[in-house]
Amino acid sequence: MKTDISASLENYLETIAEIIEAKGHAHTKDIADRLKVKMPSVTSALQSLAGRGLINYESHAPVVLTASGAETAAVIRNRHTALRNFFQGVLKLDAADADAVACRVEHLVDERVISRLVALACAIGEREDAAGLREYLDNTMPTICTEAAGRMLPLDELRDGEQAVVLRVGETLRGVKRFADLGIVPGALLEMEGRAPLGGLLRIKLMGSSLSIRRRDAAHIRVRLTG
Amino acid sequence: MKTDISASLENYLETIAEIIEAKGHAHTKDIADRLKVKMPSVTSALQSLAGRGLINYESHAPVVLTASGAETAAVIRNRHTALRNFFQGVLKLDAADADAVACRVEHLVDERVISRLVALACAIGEREDAAGLREYLDNTMPTICTEAAGRMLPLDELRDGEQAVVLRVGETLRGVKRFADLGIVPGALLEMEGRAPLGGLLRIKLMGSSLSIRRRDAAHIRVRLTG
DNA sequence: TAAAATCATTAGACAAGTCTAATATTTCTC
DNA sequence: GAGAAATATTAGACTTGTCTAATGATTTTA
């Protein structure tokens, strides 16, 4: 799974995922237009991605993402979104600029930086007083995603009784805030209490109290196992 | 002066400037060791930099930065420092990581983003209440370094009576805070009142009141002319 | 359904940036 | 100052990612 992939190929993969999502299928020309390159460049990128098992590709047939490709694309798009939200929501760049900068930077920063930027955006949006914000940054940032850290997984995959630290929450500033209202912010410690038999709701313990959360929402919360 | 330079060459130039500053002269081997590349790579980079007029280079002689090269290096190092401070001071990465991330990102972000990150770091460090911080971000960020903007220049080059917006302040969080105590933060409007004949002090007007500042310090404050 | 238009791929050139191996230069040491 | 060691450069290969020009495939249209 150590798909070590260049910035350029990351960009192709991300674009392909976006086009497929928008139109159902990605053609060479669409990709070329979107990335402002010529078609032969796309063809050779596709061959390269296929060689790495990230897409299924046959001549003249539409591109399909493999499972691994879809996963990689999701990670990249998550980084992109988090960065764009930061540049737009916090640094107040306009949408186009924020997107452009995110697109350049997304291939060079790791999950740790992303988590912390999200945490920062969230904290700035939520904190009552700036002294508290500073203290929050001092205390929380160092605990988010330390070193190699345990594997990251979505909250809904946590098993009963397991404890975890919240790493990343949602994909939009709006989503982040919604979760923050429940106390689910990057850095928070929580424990899975159990799940309803028919799958709709999860019950988690957070700072002493219990709360329920929809499984579908929980899938957007990334946590790391502790202890 | 449109020295359009690749990320790789920017890195070489930056490293050369650092080595010269630290040891007085930069040898091929020092550069190679620092950048973890082999010596022939350095040689060809040097030839390339020389071709662009950024360094003076003759075989087997120590590298010397040209005026234009020194200026470019200073810009890059300023970006690097600002980013490192942000990653370390705000996101609380450890020093080595902050430096590494800064080194990757510094070639991809423009002055606007840098200004805003500095402004953010400064604001987080100084604001009394978080509501005020949000308001500050809303009001200030959009005014910093809009679009192509006028030329940026150091505060000490402002002529009497000229007005300007502060873009970037100092190079360290410490420096930023010192200036912030005087009200000199990115986004602030100021006017040059005059300078002492023998050069030591500058007098500037800021938010109604006057204050004096050492010319040497003023050189570390970047402003953009308004109106 | 045949010609035209569009789309896609192959072939081959080119630039940037790295490397290894070989050669040249400078510096150190006795 | 001559040989050894360290440093620097050249030559040439290789990779990645782009391009143009030419060819092949598919779709549209008359």
Kindly state the average pLDDT of the residues B63-83.
87
pLDDT in tens, B91-132: 888 889 899 999 999 999 988 888 788 778 777 766 556 666
Nearest to B222 by CA among B160, B171, B161: B171
- Which has more pLDDT, B183 or B5? B5
CA distances from B46 to A151, B15, B57, B65 (A): 43, 12, 7, 11
CB-based contact (8 Å) between B4 and chain A? no
- Which has more pLDDT, B42 or B184? B42
- Which has more pLDDT, A122 or B14? B14
User: How is residue A222 written in tokens?
Assistant: 């990334």
The reply to whether B200 has its C-beta less than 7 Å from any atom of strand C is no
The DSSP result for B19-67, as a single string, is: HHHHHSSB-HHHHHHHHT--HHHHHHHHHHHHHTTSEE--TTS-BEE-H
pLDDT of res. B78:
80
Residue of B92, B103, B126 for testing the chain A interface, max A β-carbons within 10 Å: B92
pLDDT of res. A137:
66
How large a percentage of chain A has pLDDT more than 90? Answer: 27
pLDDT of res. B20:
92
pLDDT in tens, B163-207: 887 777 766 666 666 777 777 876 677 888 887 766 678 888 887
Spatial separation of the C-alpha atoms in residues A75 and A55, rounded to whole Å: 15
Q: How confident is the model at residue B86 (pLDDT cuts 50, 70, 90)?
A: confident
Residue B28 reports pLDDT greater than 80: yes
Beta-carbon contacts of A51 under 8 Å, excluding residues fewer than 6 positions away, are none
Interface of B with A in 47-106 (CB under 8 A): 87, 90-93, 97, 101, 104-105
Question: From residues 28-47 of B, which are strand C contacts by CB within 7 A?
Answer: 36-38, 40-41, 44-45
pLDDT of res. A189:
79
Chain C nucleotides near the protein (CB, 7 A): 7-12, 16-21, 25-26
pLDDT of res. A74:
83
CA distances from B32 to A83, B12, B144, B223 (A): 33, 9, 38, 36
pLDDT of res. B227:
53
pLDDT of res. A151:
62
Kindly state the average pLDDT of the residues B27-46.
96
Q: What is the mean pLDDT of chain B?
A: 82
Enumerate residue ranges in chain A where pLDDT < 50.
Answer: 1, 146-149
Residue of B10, B88, B99, B108 for testing the chain A interface, max A β-carbons within 10 Å: B108
- Which has more pLDDT, B8 or B213? B8
CB under 8 A, 24+ apart: contacts of B73-79? B73/B13, B73/B14, B73/B16, B73/B17, B74/B17, B76/B10, B76/B13, B76/B14, B76/B106, B76/B107, B77/B14, B77/B17, B77/B18, B78/B114, B78/B168, B78/B171, B79/B106, B79/B109, B79/B111, B79/B114
Q: How confident is the model at residue B72 (pLDDT cuts 50, 70, 90)?
A: confident
pLDDT of res. A1:
44
User: How is residue B5 written in tokens?
Assistant: 């330079």
CA of B11 to C1' of C28 (A): 32
Which nucleotide is nearest to A47 if distance is taken from CA to C1'?
A: C9
Question: From residues 53-72 of B, which are strand D contacts by CB within 7 A?
Answer: 59-60
pTM score: 0.78
Residue entry with tokens 């930065």 = B65
Interchain pair A130, B128: CB under 8 A:
yes
The reply to whether A9 has its C-beta less than 7 Å from any atom of strand D is yes
pLDDT of res. B151:
63
Helix (H, G, I), strand (E, B) or coil at B138: helix
Task: Provide the CB-side half-sphere exposure for A96 (13 A, CA).
Answer: 1
pLDDT of res. B104:
93
Residue entry with tokens 């955006």 = A121
How far does A197 lie from chain B, in Å, by closest CA?
40
Looking only at the bridges linking them, the beta strands covering B221-225 and B209-214 are unpaired
Residue entry with tokens 């879809």 = A70
CA of A43 to C1' of D17 (A): 12
The reply to whether B7 has its C-beta less than 7 Å from any atom of strand C is yes
